[in-house]
Amino acid sequence: MSDGFIDELRNALGQNSVLSGAAIDARYHHDLAGNPVPKPRAVVRPKTTEDVSALLRLCHRAKVPVISDCIMSTRPRSATSSKSWFTT
């Protein structure tokens, strides 16, 4: 995932809806068991159904994987990837 793609997400969803770099809270660096997980390149916080649709459309087009926060703590280790990804 490029910085350009993160900028595209910010343009579509708003600056405050997309976190990256140091703005990503440490809770996204570990699962609930305290096991480290790869740091996401971005965390997106959509505010509306339309935002979710736009987010998924952009990610599908760019072939960027999405991991939902509601499954972040329960995903199997096999789902952990070293590829660039982000969570919602």
Q: Which tens digits make up the pLDDT trace of 8-62?
A: 999 999 999 999 999 988 888 877 788 888 888 888 988 899 999 999 999 999 9
Q: What does the pLDDT read at residue 15?
A: 93
Tokens representing 85 are: 């990804």
The pair of three-digit structure tokens given for residue 72, joined into one six-digit string: 């972040």
| Three-class secondary structure of residue 76 per DSSP | coil
Please tell me the pTM assigned to this model: 0.68
CA 23-60-19 angle, 5° bins: 5
